Chains A and B, each alone.
Chain A
Amino acid sequence: MSSEATVISACGVSKHYRIRSGPPISLHETLGFWLRGRRPRSQWHEFCALRNFDLTVKTGDKLAFLGNNGAGKSTFLKLICRITPPSSGLITLHGRVASMLEVGTGFHPELSGRDNIFLNGAILGLSRRQVLDRFDRILAFADIGEFADTPVKHYSTGMFVRLAFAVAAHTDPDILVIDEVLAVGDQEFRAKCVAHLSGPDQAERTMLMVSHDQEILQRIATRGIVLDHGRKLFDGPITQALEFHRAHMTTPPPT
């Protein structure tokens, strides 16, 4: 497959959420609606998180999504990861997707580091064989030494985060989706993560990321997309995208 092949193409993708003002809906209320044969429409309003979004991503692209809170960045990542379906539109993916929307998803405090590596690896799409192949590399990257068989509830926060990130970083997917997780660990470990993600062996990997840390984006990303209220405002090289974002956003993003 040539390096110019399309891995993601999104066409007219929208995502609406139905938001209800007031407390969450209970069974009692729903039964009431059914008995009356309709829902009280007035209490619902549609919230459009992503509006008619088009995107083409080629192999090896490192995409950064920029925008203020609520611009639709995370929503798009959730659609790519199939956590929630789009309301309309079509996304075509070529290749395996692994998501790092949160560090340590599915980790159980009572289980040992070793057990958690296998469970987390499976959840992120690896077979048992593949986890075994990567096991030593994961332990080395996490640098947790002799604590592999200790329940993770006894880990320090730093160790926990390092292990969780190490598993996610070694899943070797075709498409890696990262949401705000680079802000983990101490300075040293963060530098290690960034070095890992921008390393030469990652050239073929397609990445989609959301981060408020402009320095990290500058180092890893090659292309930036600026979103505002679910619409695409800018799509181009990362340096220009960062400048565009700075110039057009009235409220600066928190760093």
Chain B
Amino acid sequence: MSRQRLIITNQPPGFRGVVGEFWRCREIALLLARRDFLVRYRRSVVGFCWVLFKPGMNALVLTFVFGHLAKLPDQGVPYAVLVLSAAIAWQFFTGVLTESGGSIVNNVPLVTKVYFPRMLLPLATLPVNLIDLLLGLILLWLVMGWTGFVPGWTALLLPLAGIPLVLVAYGAGLWVSALLARFYDLKNVIPYLLQFGMLVSPVAFSAALVPERWRLVYGLNPLVAPLELFRWCLIGDRYQLDPMMVLPSVGMGLLLFISGVWAFRRFEREFADVL
């Protein structure tokens, strides 16, 4: 009879062990996601409508303020389409970030009473938000139909554009969940950071608005790449995409993800002791 052998010391386990364990426990992440999904709509009457409410309202207000009042350039695309195509991606990011933030502190019994890779807790917020994202796409297509906008072939590349979005969201989620477990008062800062983030990221406007010489600096925002790629896929190749901005932003996104894993691993061993 072969039995797994495990050595426990005060050193964190090696990287290979972590990946293997992650794979063995993948079912936990799916079941946790399923739990969150079932619980989310069990008590609401209008159910899925809430999912469309937030990005829908966002897009409505932003279209009015930035498109009609400020009259920002729209690259020949209906402003509502321009805003909504990025707003649903932004909604995914904020959803993952806020739910990850609570994923450790709201599951204290799990963290202090059983062992499984803690990184699964923020990971389990991804599937639910992906479903919301798909529903957002339906809303976007309705708006496109209403404004008579025809999307380009690039829509087929959308799953690829989703990869940087998921990496950035999970990376940020890891940071926030680890930090919130340790410093719970950070919770009060997150709404402001998200508000600020929405204004400095290309949600309400196209990144093509940024002057040439500032584009490299603007590309340091890890959200520029996922949002602009999303927009490019949904609108088509007539949408201007500047690689000078997107490439550094992809790099920053990767950095955010890797540092998130690092930070989470550094903090996770304390979780049971500080909670």
Q: What is A's interface to B at a CB cutoff of 8 Å?
A: 1, 17, 26-28, 30, 78-97, 99, 101-102, 105-106, 108, 110-111, 115, 118-119, 122-125, 127-128, 174
Q: Is the CB of B31 closer than 8 A to any CB of chain A? A: yes
Is A93 a contact of B6 with CB atoms below 8 Å? yes
Is B31 a contact of A84 with CB atoms below 8 Å? no
B189 nearest in chain A by CB position: A27
Is B35 a contact of A115 with CB atoms below 8 Å? yes
Residues in chain B near residue A110, CB distance under 8 A: 38-39, 42-43
Q: List residues of B (18-65) whose CB comes within 8 Å of A's CBs.
A: 25, 27-28, 31-32, 34-35, 38-39, 42-43
Task: Give the Cβ gap from B51 to chain A, nearest Cβ, in Å.
Answer: 18
Q: Is the CB of B214 closer than 8 A to any CB of chain A? A: no
Is B7 a contact of A90 with CB atoms below 8 Å? yes
Residues in chain B near residue A125, CB distance under 8 A: 116
Bound: A94/B7 CA distance, A: 9
* CB contact under 8 A between A81 and B114, given known A95-B3, A106-B109, A119-B35: yes
* CB contact under 8 A between A95 and B4, given known A108-B39, A118-B31: yes
Bound: A99/B272 CA distance, A: 15
Q: What is B's interface to A at a CB cutoff of 8 Å?
A: 1, 3-10, 12, 25, 27-28, 31-32, 34-35, 38-39, 42-43, 107, 109-116, 183, 185-186, 269, 272-273
Is A93 a contact of B114 with CB atoms below 8 Å? no
Is A85 a contact of B114 with CB atoms below 8 Å? no
Is B113 a contact of A83 with CB atoms below 8 Å? yes
* CB contact under 8 A between A99 and B115, given known A28-B185, A84-B272: yes
A13 nearest in chain B by CB position: B8
Q: List 29 A-B contacts (CB under 8 A).
A: A1-B1, A27-B185, A28-B185, A80-B8, A83-B114, A83-B272, A84-B269, A84-B272, A84-B273, A86-B8, A87-B10, A91-B8, A91-B9, A93-B7, A93-B8, A94-B5, A95-B3, A97-B115, A99-B115, A102-B109, A106-B109, A106-B110, A108-B39, A110-B42, A111-B35, A115-B34, A119-B35, A123-B28, A125-B116
- Of B8, B25, B35, B38, most buried by chain A (CB within 10 Å of CB) is B8
Bound: A89/B151 CA distance, A: 62
Residues in chain B near residue A28, CB distance under 8 A: 185
Residues in chain B near residue A122, CB distance under 8 A: 25, 27-28, 31
* CB contact under 8 A between A85 and B7, given known A99-B114, A101-B113, A122-B31: no
Is B4 a contact of A96 with CB atoms below 8 Å? yes
Is B27 a contact of A89 with CB atoms below 8 Å? no
* CB contact under 8 A between A111 and B8, given known A119-B31, A124-B114: no
Residues in chain B near residue A118, CB distance under 8 A: 31
Among A27, A82, A101, point to the contact of B8 (Cβ < 8 A): A82
Bound: A131/B120 CA distance, A: 20
Task: Give the Cβ gap from B273 to chain A, nearest Cβ, in Å.
Answer: 6
Residues in chain B near residue A102, CB distance under 8 A: 109, 113
Residues in chain A near residue B107, CB distance under 8 A: 106
Known: A83-B111, A83-B113, A92-B5. 18 other contacts (CB 8 A): A1-B1, A80-B8, A81-B114, A83-B114, A85-B9, A89-B10, A90-B7, A92-B7, A93-B8, A94-B3, A99-B113, A99-B114, A105-B113, A108-B35, A110-B43, A119-B32, A127-B27, A128-B27
* CB contact under 8 A between A86 and B113, given known A26-B185, A27-B183, A95-B4: no
